[in-house]
Amino acid sequence: MKGSVIVGMSGGVDSAVAALCLLRQGYAVQGLHMTNWEDDDAYCTAAADYQDARSVCSDLNIPLHRVNFCQEYRELVFANFLHEYHAGRTPNPDVLCNRHIKFGVFTDYARRLGADWIATGHYARLSHEGVPHLFKGADSNKDQSYFLHAVPGEALSNILFPLGELTKPEVRSLANDAGLANHAKRDSTGICFIGERPFRNFLSRYIPERPGDVCTPDGSIVGEHTGLVYYTLGQRQGLGIGGQATGSDEPWYVAGKSHDRNQLIVVQGRDHPLLLSTALTTRNICWVAGEPAALTAVNSLESSAQTRYRQADEPCRIQCRPDGTIEVIFESEQWAVTPGQYVVFYSGDECLGGGTIESTSSMENTGSIDPEVATA
C-alpha cells in the first residue's frame, strides 16, 4: 500500500477518475466533498453534485466525507472578488479558490482526517523531487496550471494530480469502462461559485446598477451602460450599440472605463490600437518553486507568459522596477489585457508563477490618450 490519499470529490468525472486511478495504483483512497457556496435557487448545483459524489464513491467502494467551507470561501475569496469589482478591476476568483480553499483549508482538513496525500482532478503535473515544481497538463486543451500558479510550492508537497498525463477523452473512456454513473456528465463552466447563472443578475445583488454613457475615445456618445462593473475589456456581446450613421460596420468592443466620468469606452474593430498592449505591471508575484535566480534588481528574466486562460504562451521580458513593481514587456502586442486578471509565467511546460495585472501600456496609450481610459 502506497499510503492514504483523500481525493477532493466534486461530483464530476475528473475527480471520479482521479480516485479510480489512485485505487488502481495501490493507494488507500477516501473521498472528501466540500461545499463552498450555497444559494437557494435553480443555479446552485451543490446538492446534486454531492449526490453524484456519493454515487461515485459507492461505485468505487470508498468512504466519502463531507465538509462545508462556505464561511471560509466568503471571507478568503468572495470578499476579494467584490473588493476588486468595486475598485474597477476584473478579478478571477478561481485562482484564489485554489490557493486558499482547495490547497489551503481543504488540505488542512484532509490532513486532520489522516491523509498522507491529497489529490484533485486538475489537469496539471507535479515534480516532487526537492521543492515541488508545477507543469502543464499533457492535455493542452484542459491544462489548468494557469489557475494553480498562486499555490505556493510548500502547499503542493503532498498533492497528487492523477490526471496530469491524461487527456479528457481518455478520462471519459476510463470512467465509462469502469461503469461510473457520471462518465458523461457535462463539465461545469463559469466562475466557481456563480456557475452558469446570468453574471450580471448575480453581481447586481451585491453591486447596484449605475447607468452611464457608452462613448468612443473622442467622447461621442453611442449608447448607455448599466454599470461599469458589468463589463470587461474586450467584451463584444451585450453592449446595446445600434447602427451608427457614420463609421464602419465592424463590431464594437469594450476598450476601457472612465470611472470619474462613469463612461464605458468602446471602439470598433478587434485590432483597434486601444485593445492592444505591449507591457503590463504587476507586483507580489507568487513563485511556485521560489523566485528565479536570474531575476534580480538589475537583471531581467526572459520568459513567456499568458494573460488569460488557454492563451498561447507569449515571449516576454520580466524586470524589476525601483518602486517594487514588476514590468512585463512582450515581444508582440497583446489583446485586451485586463487589470485584475493574472499574468502567469512559463519556462517551457513549467509554470513558474504569476501575479495580478495592475496596469497596461503601449505606444498608443501614452501622450494624448487618457491613462484611466487606456488602462481601465
Between 204-208, 213-217, 239-243, the lowest mean confidence (pLDDT) is in 239-243
User: 340 vs 132, 146, 195, 318, 357, CA distance in Å?
Assistant: 27, 15, 20, 19, 5
Between 247-261, 333-347, 356-370, the lowest mean confidence (pLDDT) is in 356-370
Q: Looking at per-residue confidence, does 71 or 365 come out higher?
A: 71
CB distance 362 to 276 below 8 Å: yes
Helices 168-177 and 13-24, interaxial angle, to 10°?
A: 70
Q: Number of H helices and number of E strands within the chain? A: 10, 19
Q: What is the pLDDT of residue 240?
A: 83
Of residues 21, 36, 46, the one with CA closest to residue 96 = 36
19-59 pLDDT, tens digit each? 999 999 999 999 999 999 877 665 567 788 899 999 999 99
Burial 76-101 (b: 16+ CB within 10 A, else e): bbbeebbebbeebbbbbbbbbbbbbb
Q: What is the DSSP letter of 341?
A: B
Task: From the candidates 57, 192, 215, 286, give the one annotated as an active-site residue.
Answer: 192
If phi > 0 it is left, if psi is from -120 to 50 it is alpha, else beta; for residue 269 that is: left
Q: Which residue has the cell 519556462?
A: 347
The Cα–Cα gap between 338 and 341 comes to: 6
User: Which CATH code for domain 208-268?
Assistant: 2.30.30.280
Q: What is the DSSP letter of 167?
A: -
pLDDT(169) > 60: yes
| pLDDT band at residue 249 using 50, 70 and 90 as cut-offs | confident
51-77 pLDDT, tens digit each? 999 999 999 999 999 999 999 999 999
44 as an active site residue: the answer is: no
Quickly name the fold that domain 4-177 has. Answer: Rossmann fold (3.40.50)
137-153 pLDDT, tens digit each? 999 999 999 999 999 99
171-197 pLDDT, tens digit each? 999 999 999 988 888 887 666 656 666
| Percent of the chain whose predicted confidence (pLDDT) is above 90 | 76
Q: What is the pLDDT of residue 1?
A: 63
Q: Looking at residues 10-17, what average pLDDT do you find?
A: 96
| pLDDT band at residue 202 using 50, 70 and 90 as cut-offs | confident
The Cα–Cα gap between 113 and 31 comes to: 11
The Cα–Cα gap between 302 and 320 comes to: 12
Task: From the candidates 21, 97, 316, 351, give the one annotated as an active-site residue.
Answer: 97
Q: What is the pLDDT of residue 38?
A: 79
State the pTM of this model.
0.91
- Please give the grid coordinates belonging to residue 230: 458589468
H or E stretch including 128?
none
Domain boundaries, the chain: 4-177, 208-268, 273-375
192 as an active site residue: the answer is: yes
Architecture of domain 273-375: Beta Barrel (2.40)
